[in-house]
Amino acid sequence: MIQLNHIHKHYGPRVALDDVNLHISNGICFGLIGPNGAGKSTLMKILSCILEDFEGEALVSDQPLRENRDSIKKKLGYVPQEICLEEKLTAIDNLSFFGRIYGLKGNDLKHAMDKVMKKVGLYDRRKDLVSSFSGGMKRRMNIACALLHNPKIIILDEPTVGVDPQSRNYIFDIIKDLKKEGKTVLYSSHYMEEVENLCDEIALIDSGNIVEYGSIREILKKHATPSIFVQSEGIKKKDLVTFGEVTEVKDGFVVETEEPLKVMDDLASIFIEKNISVERLEISKRSLEDIFLTLTGTSLRD
């Protein structure tokens, strides 16, 4: 379990995290979603014991982080946003360097290196120089380095940035496998569809604040009132107000209602009865990306 209570972090006058409170259960994939500069990396670096100077209380595996950094580091695998590999060395030599940092040697190290290279789909390239790898392969190597010591918790900071589609899918498969093995995965991204597909729970973060967190289903239930989109030249806003909250949008009207099927049925009956032609009449739900925009006033990407 990871627990964050009232975490504040500033760099000089710049506030990076502003009273962050989070609970992440064991064995889930937790997504941290926010735009550039939201505070995702700062939060991940605090949890990975890279940033030691912060205010508030952080617990990892039920242990206070400040007093237990050495034991917590052994349970954690951190995949930074930057590629941390020596290009002039082979993949296996890079891994061997990280393995020794984790205290692995001899057969244990060899076994661990073979295992992670298979996991990230680069076993056949293990003797090649990292400089000969594509950007996506280097990202997968970055992940392999963090998995060598078989950590219980894996923290990945935007692992798909600048990655080709094939490596991206590989990375998603690696994360799904880690989840099946019962690992806790903390994953940051500014692509909502990534966290929607991978994560059990998510936190929406903007300007150092967690604006919402929980399971995707809970967040949608709380914020995504169903609505009906109506496009018809024969309809005015005043004709719809009895059915729910009406917003005029570019091509028509959005009617928010808790009873979308009934309202659809009622509207269809009125259109038929009055012989009004309709271009579009459909039920829609606000997406997580719409919810993020409503809660923060910020788009996830420029």
Positions in the binding site for ligand ATP (CB under 6 A) = 11, 14, 16, 34, 36-42, 81, 190
Smaller CB distance to ligand ATP: residue 21 or 232? Answer: 21
> H/E element holding 293?
helix 288-296
Handedness of CA 33, 180, 74, 98 (dihedral sign): negative
45 backbone dihedrals φ, ψ, rounded to 5°? -70, -35
Smaller CB distance to ligand ATP: residue 67 or 82? Answer: 82
CB of residue 33 vs ligand ATP: minimum separation in angstroms?
Answer: 10
CB of residue 160 vs ligand ATP: minimum separation in angstroms?
Answer: 12
Smaller CB distance to ligand ATP: residue 42 or 209? Answer: 42
d(CA 300, CA 302): 7
CB of residue 116 vs ligand ATP: minimum separation in angstroms?
Answer: 25
Residues 6+ apart with CB under 8 A from 301: 35, 190
CB of residue 13 vs ligand ATP: minimum separation in angstroms?
Answer: 10
Smaller CB distance to ligand ATP: residue 39 or 260? Answer: 39
CB of residue 301 vs ligand ATP: minimum separation in angstroms?
Answer: 10
d(CA 144, CA 85): 11
Smaller CB distance to ligand ATP: residue 17 or 112? Answer: 17
Residues 29 and 185 sit within 8 Å (Cβ to Cβ): yes
Q: What is the DSSP string of 62-129?
A: TEETTT-HHHHHHHEEEE-SS----TTSBHHHHHHHHHHHTT--HHHHHHHHHHHHHHTT-GGGTTSB
Smaller CB distance to ligand ATP: residue 12 or 106? Answer: 12
CB of residue 163 vs ligand ATP: minimum separation in angstroms?
Answer: 15
List the beta bridge partners of residue 255.
228, 246
Which tokens go with 73?
Answer: 């580091």
